[in-house]
Amino acid sequence: MIITKQKEEKEINEMLQPFKKVFIVGCGSCATSCQTGGEEQVAAMKEKLGAKVVGTSVVEEPCDLRLDRRDLKAYKDVIKGADAIMVMSCGSGVQAVGEYTSKIVLPALDTLFIGETERLGKFNDMCQACGECVLDETGGVCPITRCAKGLLNGPCGGQVKGKCEVGKYENDCAWVLIWKNLKEQGRLDLFTTFRPPRDNSKKTLLTKIEPG
């Protein structure tokens, strides 16, 4: 799930200042689960902004252009008359809505990370979408997100009794977790595998994945 948080009211008001007519688009998926852009949050934003809001819609997944076309089609004329669209979703959803509508888009949320849901309101940073996944070699523990230093080869000298020096030894050392998992799986030989620096070219803004 993509984890988001709502921007501060001051920042939102500054973004909206130049516009008189705004259409709000919410997200029926990740932002709904995060309670940052679902039906309730869209309704609250509409009430807060008052007369500026000319209409609202919660798209199932605004990051999907197909669903934008499907869910926003009924609002075509209202959107056409709006000065801008405020999107309560991740950055991908904001861009997709902008591409579909050709309107100025305003992000109401900040995108934080791809996370694991532990419980309602409690999310753990589990993936940074690096484009070069090594979870098969690291016992299912991501060293990029779970290691405070993002080390691909570890542990470093900053761990004590399985705890990381970053955060005053309160957090588990990712590489100790990796060692434990690999040991339980009978694959400790992978622990000493050297991993070269990441190829950052694999993570690009315009990556297109074609069907196989």
Give residue limits of the domains in the chain: 2-112, 129-199
Asked if residue 117 has pLDDT above 90, the reply is no
Asked if residue 205 has pLDDT above 80, the reply is no
Q: Among 3.40.50.2300, 3.40.50.720, 3.30.70.360, 3.40.50.620, name the CATH number for the domain at 2-112.
A: 3.40.50.2300
> Length of the chain, please?
212
pTM for the whole structure: 0.76
Give Cβ neighbours of residue 25 (< 8 Å, ≥ 6 apart). Answer: 56, 57, 58, 59, 62, 72, 85, 86, 87, 88, 89, 93, 97
| pLDDT for 51 | 96
| pLDDT for 203 | 62
